[in-house]
Chain A
């Protein structure tokens, strides 16, 4: 099913390219080269392309987890972006304020600070959901805006601004930098390029640890059991003695921590300061597609994050090589999401006679539905229930 969605997107994407006068083979060759470093024709360095893909993949994994975990609890976390920004802001603020601390203390401080900020950001939505029933989709979306505008305030005329009119923050202290795997050297040559251009950083390890923590939490702990139970049936969870409210809040706190970690890693590992490029950052939104495409599983999230990271990295090369706007990448991402959300392929499959399923067998559910089931929306009261 996820593979079919991706295939569907690429087929329709090819049609879009053809209709608009481009050559889909050139386009996809450019994407392949830029994303995975294969089939390059214009002398691109494959190692560099792969390194770029990995750098894009890292935050997608962590935020993907931040969306997938609430899914399991029956919650739609649309606020991974806001939580990521909260984490990035906290990380930057701490990295600036405490810039002279030694790395062994400062680095953990900024990362944990980012996680806490993300947790608070998501926790607001969790508490609102648990106490007054405010729908988390609405509150998390709103909190995205709050985070974005807070960011603008901080670096445009605000307390973190580098200098007036720069739209970027002061740099964080050196001790807050996440190390890259290769030394930051312009003289050392790796695969024919200076080592400093490969920006793959230790955040990769942190992201992989995060996704492992996610899997263990979900499948091996009592809390994970309760999260899944609450997500599948609140009534069953209550029957079991699980406090659904508490579970909602705890789930959102953990999810927010993952997103906040993603933001902190971006600052500590890649950018080292906040810039206006974060105004248009979409990692937290792509994470929704990553979580859905990955079916909410740890391995799936990693694979989907690699795909989206590769698309992101490949877009630029495609534009340069094939002359096709890198916006095609957005079209492809949207098509993938669309075919998952609409359960498009399943619908087609059911219309082909002979492929239909026995009525007694569980109906093939949409991916979202498989993760969400009844907890997402209370089923409308049927006539039969009124006695």
Chain B
């Protein structure tokens, strides 16, 4: 690898610098991507990955630095130039029109037309079929986009980019929305694309995936490149250390649980999803003091609904929920909270926080009428609220200049810490943690994991839902596997991943004693 000539490089970015008011997003960044490789670009949120890729795609103009594509210096005025150079980008949030068919979405902007300017269905279909066949991407061009699962929508995005003649594909956090199975399917597709001569830039912060799929890795931290690595010579620990800037603990350090009395009893609970179809079909389990019960499952199998029903933000259609010996089935969110059920919701930005509210205001969300923070449920006790917020900021290491900063302006990790702090700070009997570390940086993940274990050791009963199987396995004392609205088995945390995966998709046999 010592004699890489410029022509072997599909992309060469040299000395790229881009400053935004108050922050240097890219500081003399060098990136070299060889033709025909999968190159991973990793870094925590805000490290400058997206800025760099937006520069490569012509969306942002760098302050300085040069870009060479296939050995030739280029100047990009906009994405149009990038596309004509064979660069394609699959955004993290899809740019698709749900009511259009797959074919129409792919063709959009470059529709084949008949002589009289009508959309030419047959030519469009043929073009798409040719593409999908060539790269082994099964896709029905006539399906309505909105009806497809996320994995296939993403596939359509990839085909769209290929249709526009991309030879260099940028994939921005492509696995963020995918289940483990869908991720595996994506990886098969990516390997096929590379075999067909494409070059792929893969942006991610999931280290295991990066190690699995990439050939080489560029690590960014705070706008700078801090490492160029060859995948087969590196390890998760090395990448994490480079990303965070210090050694991090990737495994959760915890002692065996000492479960106490049963605190929460869920008996044959059923509930509907937002669309009104049954999402929970008779869920039964018990949760004890001082244990973490993890729920594993492919997203959309009722985990979200289960948490919401217990938290009181969704109505159950049957069954009972007992907190101690109180029947809390029909309690609303406020009564539940007062009874000692704390809830870290999966949707941090929309549900767990009011983004325009300050940290202080968010620290009492749901308790604005409690006697601690209000005078007779009428007037807010501002001094008490501010003291409380300061205490949480200190105790939970929330990085912020002040408690008056709007939640919107915090990083994802610190936003999540505000929620975790608020919910744990109320000394709950039961802690419901839904996707507690989704989309937060490694440092915050480490911290939140430690606090969850601390809660458990303090005698709280913790119910954990996570789409990351690793997280469920490393935190839980018992694992309940959910599939199609039911708990299909309760497993021990050292159950092999393969078995859990099988149970999660409806295969495998439940262990004795499980519902």
Contact = CB atoms under 8 A, between A and B. Distances in A.
Interface of A: 220-223, 225-226, 228-229, 232-233, 235-242, 357-362, 373-374, 381-384, 386-387
B46 interface: yes
Nearest to A371: B356
A240 B345 contact: no
Contact of A238 (B54, B145, B146, B333): B333
B306 to A, nearest CB: 16
B146 A386 contact: yes
B155 interface: no
Interface residues of B, number: 59
Nearest to A239: B351
Contacts of B374: 222
20 contacts: A225-B361, A225-B364, A229-B354, A229-B357, A232-B355, A232-B356, A236-B350, A236-B354, A238-B333, A241-B312, A241-B337, A358-B21, A359-B20, A359-B50, A361-B20, A381-B146, A382-B94, A384-B94, A384-B150, A386-B153
Contacts of B345: 239
B30 interface: no
Nearest to A374: B350
Given A221-B379, A357-B20, A240 B350 contact: no
A382 B177 CA distance: 13
A383 B354 contact: no
Contacts of A241: 312, 332-337, 366
**B20, B311, B356 pick with most chain A CB within 10 angstroms:** B356
B379 A220 contact: yes
A254 to B, nearest CB: 14
B352 A236 contact: yes
A236 B94 contact: no
B22 interface: yes
A239 B361 contact: no
B147 to A, nearest CB: 7
A75 B20 CA distance: 35
B146 A383 contact: yes
B300 interface: yes
A360 B20 contact: yes
Nearest to A379: B350
B94 A383 contact: yes
Contact of B46 (A220, A225, A360): A360
Interface of B: 20-23, 25, 46, 50-51, 54, 60, 93-94, 96-98, 145-150, 153, 177, 299-300, 311-313, 332-337, 343, 345, 347, 350-357, 361, 364-366, 368-369, 374, 377-380, 382, 408-409
B356 to A, nearest CB: 5
A381 B98 contact: yes
Contacts of A233: 350-351, 354-355
B218 to A, nearest CB: 20
Contacts of A360: 20, 23, 25, 46
B24 to A, nearest CB: 10
Contacts of A240: 333-334, 365-366, 368
9 tightest A-B CB contacts, nearest first? A241-B334, A358-B20, A241-B333, A240-B366, A383-B96, A383-B98, A225-B368, A235-B351, A222-B368
Given A236-B350, A239-B313, A241-B312, A229 B365 contact: yes
A346 to B, nearest CB: 16
A146 B92 CA distance: 50
Given A235-B351, A240-B334, A359-B20, 6 more contacts: A225-B364, A237-B354, A239-B313, A239-B351, A381-B146, A386-B153
A304 B347 CA distance: 38
A209 B514 CA distance: 64
A163 B97 CA distance: 64
Nearest to A370: B356
Nearest to A229: B354
A236 B149 contact: no
Contacts of A384: 93-94, 150, 153, 177
A387 B300 CA distance: 8
A233 B25 CA distance: 30
A376 to B, nearest CB: 14
